[in-house]
Every structure is written in structure tokens, then in C-alpha cells.
């Protein structure tokens, strides 16, 4: 009898150890392959969010949900992007300067700009490692078959905005010119959704009425995706391309009149609530510790919407600049990462760029990136996890394929200076000019002079040696890997 009990107890012990081993292996696998949710706001400036010190309640439009996310995150106070919607989205997906994929300008319908099939994207990385991949919201990387989300690594796509929210304005503007409805219908943007075979189909018109509802539908679709995939054997990657706070202002009815900052403030408060819905879906599913949440903006603000009497829009905070230019306020935006299990919550003023996420995620899942192309992003995993105290030191920005700004540490250097347009209100961004100086770049100390008022080239010209080194290494990379021709609407070949 003793022998029987002995062997029975040994058998149960072996089963228990095997179960523990499986559980431990599963936990370790989730450390290497956590769920990943990336949320990208549209035209959200540094000065909009309460957690960044100069927005939120201070401007009459509180952001409690994003502030709560920030309190649990690594908050990046020097997170840098590219100058516009398409360039930043290309940089996020490919880990490369957008000029390397021919997407350095904002895509306008009817132009040939599009994400090429040969690019390797973040979704393809996760798909390669067994992730279920889904996307909802704004894509803005082209409408050719090769460029669609479902052709670039995503299993599914919904509440899809393939182009820019500007398009909601076009039909009414065209009607005022007396154009035919047939001509107007050709410019009408649509909401898209993928079928089981990956093909996209039109769901409904993306017009000014639906502009007020789309953010809520994106949040609902993203939350449903989380609920359906949270406890599957395979991890998931979810990319949420928010439509807010891009003009035209369009908050859902329950948010209208909520802020003291007018229509823009109402829209920001709705955006904050929708971000909260997605974060709550993660937490309610019980996967908070095993889910990386990344919240970013694609570029700096549109400060003056100019569409009605309530024209004040987003804010660059203490900086100068807006979407379309390469001033600090266009390129420095909110960015935060939450992963309670491995990323300590803190604030850091170390430099991180939107290009860094692809190589960082590749390091996380133990994957090598394609070698037959330059990757401009840096692996920031050890910095994110607190094992290293410093991150990258340099970044190049482009306009129409030209090197237009260089960051090295706290210095920003411009080959040509950005000059605001004449008007009321005056604006940089899409309305600005770039002017040649006297043969020397302009040099600004961003730490001491965040609004870039004092050109220090005469007294700090030593910085130009680092500038020339950074630009020189980029130009050297073009010898083996030349950039594809970009598209310009002002410069045409003969």
C-alpha cells in the first residue's frame, strides 16, 4: 500500500510540475510576445494634454483619461516625429525616414504617392511572429492595392479612413463653385472595412455628419477587437488611427459644449474619452500587465483652423511651429508607453523618435529587420525598461526630400530658415516659406530658447561640425540605397 501511495503521490507531483512548467513558459512567452496597442492621435500638439503641463484643464479642455494613462507610463517629453500625417505614419510603420519610401509629403488624392509593397511594416513584423493583427481608423499611406492595410500585414481593417479628414470638407466647397454632382462624387471620401479575404469594401460616406460620429465608432471597434482577442493563444497587435483632433472640428453630440475652449476643446475632450474606452477595454480584459500601450501624436498642431468664428485649434505648448514645417513645435509632440510589467512609469526628456518603435519591437520579439535597406530608428528597449539612462542624440527632418532640419542633442539646425506667412492669422506649416541665409545654417539652442528666437550661428558655429557629420552619414547611405523619386506639386521634371 505504501508503494501504491508513493507512486500515486509522485505522479500527482509530476503533473503539478508539468503544469507549472507550462504556466511559466506561457508567462515567459508573454514577456517576449506581449499584446501591443499603438494609438496615434491626429494633429495633437504638445500643449494640448494636461500631463504635459500646458494643456488640459489649463486651457479649459481637461484630459483625465490620457493624464491617467500618462501617470502609469514612461512619458516622453522629447518625442519627435515627422512634419505631417503621411510622413509620420510611414516612419512609424517602416522605422525609416519617410523620404526613403517616397512618402515625405502628405498624400493628396489623385497623386501617385503610395506605400510600396516592398516596404517592411510593423504589422508584418508582428504577423511574422504569430500575432493577430488589426487596425481601425486613419491609414493615409495610399489607396493602391499594394498599399492597403490588409496588403501590409494587417489581418483586418475597419472604420477605415484611407485618406485625410480634410476630404469631408471638399463636397460642400465644390458645390459652392457650381460643380456637377458627378464630379463632386469622385472626391467623396468613404469609410472602409475589410472582408474575410482581405479585400476592402465601402461602408458609408465619410462626410461632415459622420465626422461627428467616427471617433466613437473607432473606439468601439478597437474595444471589441481587444475583447475578442485578449485570451486567444496568439497575442495581438492593434493599431488605432484616431481621427481627432484633425480639422474640421466634429465632436459627438454628447460632447458638444462640454469644454470652455469651444468646438476644438469639445473634440479634444471626446478624443480623451475614446482613448479612455480603449484603455479600459484592456484593463477590463485582465491583460494590463501583458499589454504594451503606446499613445502618440503624428505631428504638431493646426493652431488656426479658420473654418468658423471658433478658429483656435491645437497648441505647440512652449514651442513654435505646426503641422507641415520643421520647427520644434511641429516635430515635438506627446508620446507615452505603458507596460506595467517591464517599463517603469516616469518622465524622461531623453530623445525618442517615431522611427524607433519598429526596431524596438523587433528586439522585443527577437527578430532581425531586413538588412537590404537603411533603418533610421534605434532600438530603445533597454532605455524604455530603465536599463539605460540615455537614448538617441540626433534626427534629420525633410521637406520635399531636402534635409530641412537636424537635431543634435539640444541643438536644432536649419539649412534654410522657416518664415511664417503673411496673413491674419499668420501661420507656419503649410503656409510658410523656407529662405536661404548667407551661406550658413541657422542654429538654435532648444533647451534655452524653445521658441527659436535667437540664431546662434555666429557664436556657436562649432555645432556645425556635428551637423555636417550627421548629414554626411545620411548622404553616404544614399550611395548604396538611393531614395525613390518623391512627388512634388511645385517642382516638375522636364
For the stretch 47-60, pLDDT in tens is 999 999 989 999 99
Strands 332-338 and 352-353: unpaired
Q: In this structure, are 177 and 255 located in the same domain?
A: yes
pLDDT at 300: 93
Same-domain pairing of 383 and 354 = yes
**Pair 340, 373 in one domain:** yes
Q: Name the catalytic one among 35, 85, 212, 271.
A: 85
Give the active site residue among 33, 140, 244, 271: 140
Q: Decide which of 332, 361, 393 is a domain's last residue.
A: 393
| pLDDT for position 29 | 66
List CB contacts of 373: < 8 A, sequence separation 6 or more.
96, 100, 120, 481
In this structure, the chain runs to a length of 494
The CA distances from residue 421 to 18, 117, 253, 442, in Å, are 70, 38, 35, 19
Residue 282 lies in a domain: yes
Quickly count helices (H) and strands (E) in the chain.
Answer: 13, 17
Pairing of strands 74-80, 132-138: unpaired
Residues 474 and 438 in one domain: yes
Residue 446 pLDDT exceeds 70: yes
Q: Are residues 370 and 438 in the same domain?
A: no
DSSP3 helix / strand / coil % (the chain, rounded to 5)? 35, 20, 45
Residue 343, strand partner residues:
339
Total tally of structural domains belonging to the chain: 2
Mean pLDDT, the chain, integer: 91
* Residue 140 known to be catalytic: yes
pTM above 0.85, yes or no: yes
296: left (phi over 0), alpha (psi -120 to 50) or beta: beta
| Per-residue pLDDT reduced to its tens digit, 213-266 | 999 999 999 999 999 999 999 999 999 999 999 999 889 999 999 999 999 999
In angstroms, the CA 195 to CA 210 distance is: 22
Positive/negative CA dihedral, 416, 419, 421, 422: negative
Query: What CATH number is given to the structural domain containing 471?
Result: 3.30.1120
CB 143 within 8 A of CB 113: no
Q: Which three cell numbers, joined as nine digits, stand for 416?
A: 534654410
The alpha carbon of 62 is separated from its chain's Cα centroid by a whole number of angstroms, namely 22
CATH number at residue 55: 3.40.720.10
301 and 442 share one domain: no
Indicate whether 54 and 192 sit together in one domain: yes
Residue 487 pLDDT greater than 90, yes or no: no
Examine residue 3 and state whether it is found in any structural domain, yes or no.
no
The set of cell numbers assigned to 213 is 460620429
Verify whether residue 212 is a known catalytic residue. no
Phi first, then psi: what are they for 423, rounded to 5°? 160, 180
Range of the domain at 122: 33-393
User: How far apart, in Å, are the Cα atoms of 194 and each of 123, 134, 149, 198, 199?
Assistant: 16, 10, 9, 5, 5
> CA 199 to CA 201: how far, in whole Å?
7
Is residue 173 left, alpha or beta, with left meaning phi > 0 and alpha meaning psi from -120 to 50?
Answer: alpha
Cα–Cα distances (Å) from 216 to 255, 275, 374, in that order, read 11, 10, 38
Q: How does residue 186 score in pLDDT terms, banded at 50, 70 and 90?
A: confident
Residue the block writes with cell 469639445 = 266
Element (H or E) spanning 191, and its range?
strand 190-194
| Residue at which a domain ends, from 393, 427, 454 | 393
Amino acid at each position: 500500500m505504501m508503494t501504491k501511495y508513493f507512486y500515486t503521490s509522485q505522479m500527482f507531483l509530476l503533473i503539478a510540475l508539468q503544469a507549472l512548467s507550462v504556466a511559466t513558459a506561457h508567462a515567459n512567452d508573454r514577456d517576449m510576445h506581449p499584446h501591443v496597442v499603438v494609438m496615434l492621435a491626429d494633429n495633437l500638439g504638445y500643449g494640448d494634454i494636461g500631463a504635459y503641463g500646458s494643456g488640459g484643464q489649463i486651457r479649459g479642455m481637461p484630459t483625465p483619461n490620457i493624464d491617467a494613462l500618462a501617470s502609469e507610463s514612461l512619458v516622453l517629453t522629447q518625442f519627435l516625429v515627422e512634419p505631417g500625417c503621411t510622413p509620420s505614419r510611414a516612419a512609424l510603420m517602416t522605422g525609416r525616414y519617410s523620404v526613403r519610401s517616397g512618402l515625405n509629403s502628405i498624400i493628396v488624392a489623385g497623386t501617385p504617392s503610395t506605400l510600396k509593397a516592398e516596404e517592411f511594416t510593423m504589422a508584418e513584423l508582428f504577423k511574422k511572429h504569430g500575432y493577430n493583427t488589426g487596425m481601425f481608423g486613419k491609414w493615409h499611406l495610399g489607396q493602391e492595392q499594394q498599399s492597403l492595410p490588409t496588403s501590409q500585414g494587417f489581418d483586418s481593417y475597419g472604420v477605415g479612413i484611407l485618406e485625410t479628414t480634410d476630404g469631408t470638407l471638399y463636397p460642400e466647397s465644390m458645390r459652392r463653385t457650381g460643380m456637377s454632382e458627378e464630379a463632386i462624387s469622385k472626391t467623396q471620401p468613404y469609410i472602409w472595412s475589410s472582408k474575410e479575404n482581405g479585400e476592402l469594401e465601402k461602408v458609408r460616406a465619410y462626410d461632415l455628419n459622420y465626422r461627428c460620429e467616427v471617433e466613437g465608432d473607432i473606439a468601439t471597434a478597437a474595444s471589441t477587437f481587444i475583447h475578442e482577442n485578449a485570451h486567444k493563444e496568439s497575442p495581438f497587435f492593434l493599431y488605432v488611427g484616431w481621427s481627432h483632433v484633425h480639422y474640421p472640428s466634429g465632436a459627438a453630440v454628447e460632447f458638444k459644449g462640454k469644454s470652455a475652449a469651444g468646438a476644438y476643446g469639445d473634440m479634444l475632450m471626446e478624443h480623451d474619452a475614446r482613448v479612455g474606452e480603449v484603455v479600459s477595454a484592456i484593463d477590463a480584459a485582465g491583460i494590463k500587465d501583458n499589454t504594451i500601450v503606446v499613445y502618440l501624436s503624428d505631428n504638431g498642431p493646426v493652431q488656426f483652423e479658420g473654418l468658423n468664428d471658433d478658429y483656435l485649434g491645437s497648441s505647440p505648448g512652449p514651442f513654435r511651429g505646426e503641422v507641415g514645417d520643421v520647427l520644434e513645435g511641429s516635430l515635438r509632440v506627446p508620446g507615452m508607453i505603458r507596460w506595467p510589467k517591464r517599463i517603469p512609469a516616469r518622465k524622461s526628456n531623453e530623445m525618442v523618435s517615431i522611427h524607433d518603435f519598429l526596431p524596438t519591437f523587433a528586439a522585443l520579439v527577437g527578430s532581425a529587420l531586413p538588412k537590404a535597406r537603411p533603418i533610421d530608428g534605434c532600438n530603445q528597449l533597454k532605455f524604455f525598461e530603465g536599463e539605460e539612462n540615455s537614448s538617441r542624440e540626433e534626427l534629420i527632418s525633410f521637406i520635399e526630400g531636402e534635409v530641412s532640419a537636424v537635431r543634435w542633442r539640444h541643438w536644432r539646425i536649419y539649412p534654410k530658415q522657416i518664415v511664417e506667412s503673411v496673413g491674419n492669422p499668420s501661420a507656419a506649416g503649410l503656409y510658410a516659406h523656407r529662405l536661404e541665409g548667407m551661406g550658413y545654417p541657422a542654429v538654435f539652442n532648444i533647451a534655452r530658447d524653445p521658441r527659436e528666437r535667437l540664431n546662434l550661428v555666429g557664436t556657436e558655429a562649432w555645432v556645425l561640425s556635428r551637423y555636417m557629420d550627421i548629414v554626411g552619414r545620411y548622404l553616404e547611405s544614399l550611395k548604396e540605397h538611393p531614395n525613390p523619386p518623391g512627388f512634388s506639386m511645385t517642382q516638375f521634371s522636364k
